[in-house]
Amino acid sequence: MPKSQAQLDTMFANLYKNNGKHLIVRIFADYLTLEDLLAVLEKNKDKIERFRRNKSLVLLTGEFNYEQIPEFVPVAPTEEEALDVIEFEEIERQLMSD
């Protein structure tokens, strides 16, 4: 769980070191403002999109208005829903590769 804009930025900058695992990133408004989150997402948009070609990355937060988060990164309010997003994306990738 990143507790600052710098920690989140570092995490996204190093996505390639994730060893091929899906990521669920828990975001708390206590640590990051919406403006900070949006700035980091926009700065790392290309890296996030490249990562998401093969693996899923889901933001887990119930504290921000989902309509304000860019569409290139999915958002879920609960861990169960984040896992559902990952499952759906895996199915979609499998269908696309067949």
Query: Mapping DSSP to helix (H, G, I), strand (E, B) and coil, where does residue 93 land?
Result: helix
State yes or no: pLDDT of 16 exceeds 80.
Answer: no
Residue spans of beta strands (DSSP E) within the chain: 23-26, 57-60, 75-76
Average pLDDT over residues 28-46: 91
Task: Please give the Cα distance from 33 to 29 (Å, whole number).
Answer: 6
Q: What are phi and psi of 94, to 5 degrees?
A: -65, -45
- Give residue-wise pLDDT tens across range 54-78: 999 999 998 888 889 999 999 999 9
Cα 44–chain centre separation: 11
What token pair was written down for 92? 């979609």
Contact criterion met (CB below 8 Å) for 74 and 85: yes
What pLDDT is stored for residue 62 in this prediction?
A: 86
Q: What does the domain layout of the chain look like in residue ranges? A: 5-97
State yes or no: pLDDT of 20 exceeds 90.
Answer: no
What pLDDT is stored for residue 24 in this prediction?
A: 93
Quick one: what percent of the chain has pLDDT higher than 90? 58
Average pLDDT over residues 30-49: 92
What pLDDT is stored for residue 59 in this prediction?
A: 94
